[in-house]
A = this chain, B = another copy of it.
Amino acid sequence: MNLPRIAVDAMGGDEGVRVMIEGAALARRRHDRFKFLLVGDEARIKAALENHPGMSGASEILHCEDVVGGEEKPSKALRRAKTTSMGLAVDAVKQGLAGAAVSAGNTGALMAMSKLALRTMPGLDRPALAALLPTLTDDDVVMLDLGANSEGNSRNLVQFAIMGAAYSRIVSGRERPRVRLLNIGTEETKGTEDIQDAANRLRAETGLAMDFEGFVEADKINRGECDVVVCDGFSGNIALKAIEGAARFVTDLLKQAFASSIRSKVGFLVSRPATELLRHHLDPNNHNGAVFLGLNGVVVKSHGSANAKGVANAVEVAARLLEDDITNRIAHDLAQIGDLGGRASGATAGLAAK
């Protein structure tokens, strides 16, 4: 298959042009059919390309100087969609100049720009932000929504489940991913009305390409016992950040502890392969590529502080979503359910990043 090229926002993220280009080049060394539209300051991109001679034939530069700030309000950034590297990368997907966009910039701005330019898929109420989290097994778990919406009613949750399953099929290779709703208990009576209603609906739908297995509590997300964890954007953001914070907390404690005596320092040196393995497993660069699902086009958010390997992973995620035609897969699954997934009343949802 002739893979459409990937638009890379070369200016976004904490690490700047050099790392974005290095990441794209690394992805291309793994898959030489990758082609790029590199969006950003031409002089700086050309300078970065000098270290990667293989990239010149595979990439075109779309020059622009304006950049979305990391702390900039999405509403403000949105006004500069036509002049910023992020906005132009997304617009390239809309114009058909690229098949997918990858950016390491401001998540809220990227979501806002993507929604405005690409629009939500027909038949879907709201897009969602999905990410891959590490588990105790070799497989990552897909979790969504992670904050594209600040709430989510039962109909949103059912649609998130369908999108998450479609994403999981691509990354895990499972034809019927195991899907669970995040809840504060596993009994059927637990949680809000919206969650219970979504669970009833997912239990009743037998035509969906997933195994819906009820609820999962937040302490089991990383156990590797399910492939997709579905939640509203507020809870998902809380859970994701709580996990990140706790993992950092434990590793910080470990560092304090290892630094507290000479004997421990010696132990640390001897056991370095073990702690390296831990670092490898927890390193977000190995699980990079949060995805906006439910838009008419593929947009991947690379972690703001991702290194070249992380950027390469995000580019590969974009390529796999294109190859597997995620948008049509989701459309197909949505069509399996009659009224698009249950009651739309209850909580109202809004773009979290106002």
> Which positions in A face B, CB cutoff 8 Å?
73, 136, 147, 150-151, 182, 184-185, 187, 189-192, 217-223, 231, 233-235, 237-254, 256-258, 260-261, 263-264, 266-275, 277-278, 281-282, 347, 352-354
Q: How far is the CA of A352 from the CA of B183 in the complex (A)?
A: 11
Q: Are B278 and A253 in touch, CB under 8 angstroms?
A: yes
Q: What residues on B are CB-neighbors of A136 within 8 Å?
A: 249, 252-253, 256
User: Smallest CB–CB gap between A92 and chain B, Å?
Assistant: 29
Q: How far is the CA of A220 from the CA of B244 in the complex (A)?
A: 9
Q: Are B271 and A263 in touch, CB under 8 angstroms?
A: yes
A182, A266, A270 — which one has the most chain B CB atoms within 10 A of its CB?
A270
Q: What residues on B are CB-neighbors of A347 within 8 Å?
A: 347
A-B contacts besides A242-B243, A243-B243, A267-B269, 13 pairs, CB < 8 Å: A73-B187, A136-B253, A190-B353, A217-B241, A218-B242, A219-B242, A220-B245, A242-B246, A253-B282, A258-B274, A260-B273, A263-B270, A267-B274
Q: Are A254 and B238 in touch, CB under 8 angstroms?
A: no
Q: Are A150 and B192 in touch, CB under 8 angstroms?
A: yes
Given A191-B150, A218-B245: A281 and B253 interface contact (C-beta under 8 Å): yes
Q: Are B266 and A270 in touch, CB under 8 angstroms?
A: yes
Q: Are A219 and B235 in touch, CB under 8 angstroms?
A: no
Q: Are B185 and A353 in touch, CB under 8 angstroms?
A: yes
Q: Are B267 and A263 in touch, CB under 8 angstroms?
A: no
**Residue in B190, B253, B254, B353 whose CB lies within 8 Å of A352:** B190
Q: How far is the CA of A291 from the CA of B67 in the complex (A)?
A: 49
Q: Are A219 and B234 in touch, CB under 8 angstroms?
A: no
Q: List 15 A-B contacts (CB under 8 A).
A: A184-B237, A184-B238, A218-B237, A218-B239, A218-B245, A243-B249, A247-B249, A253-B278, A253-B281, A260-B273, A260-B274, A263-B273, A264-B270, A264-B273, A270-B271
Q: Which residue of B lies closest to A354 (CB)?
A: B189
User: Smallest CB–CB gap between A341 and chain B, Å?
Assistant: 21
Q: Which residue of B lies closest to A146 (CB)?
A: B184
Q: Are B270 and A270 in touch, CB under 8 angstroms?
A: yes
Given A257-B277, A267-B271: A247 and B245 interface contact (C-beta under 8 Å): no
**Residue in B190, B257, B278 whose CB lies within 8 Å of A274:** B257
Q: Are A244 and B219 in touch, CB under 8 angstroms?
A: yes
Q: How far is the CA of A244 from the CA of B222 in the complex (A)?
A: 11
Given A257-B275, A352-B184: A250 and B247 interface contact (C-beta under 8 Å): yes
Q: How far is the CA of A254 from the CA of B251 in the complex (A)?
A: 10
Q: How far is the CA of A190 from the CA of B266 in the complex (A)?
A: 46
Q: How far is the CA of A249 from the CA of B354 in the complex (A)?
A: 33
Q: What residues on B are CB-neighbors of A257 within 8 Å?
A: 273-275, 277-278
Given A249-B136, A274-B258, A278-B254: A151 and B238 interface contact (C-beta under 8 Å): no
Q: What residues on B are CB-neighbors of A247 within 8 Å?
A: 246-247, 249-250
Q: How far is the CA of A354 from the CA of B231 in the complex (A)?
A: 21
Q: How far is the CA of A161 from the CA of B182 in the complex (A)?
A: 26
Q: Which residue of B lies closest to A184 (CB)?
A: B237
Q: How far is the CA of A250 from the CA of B331 in the complex (A)?
A: 38
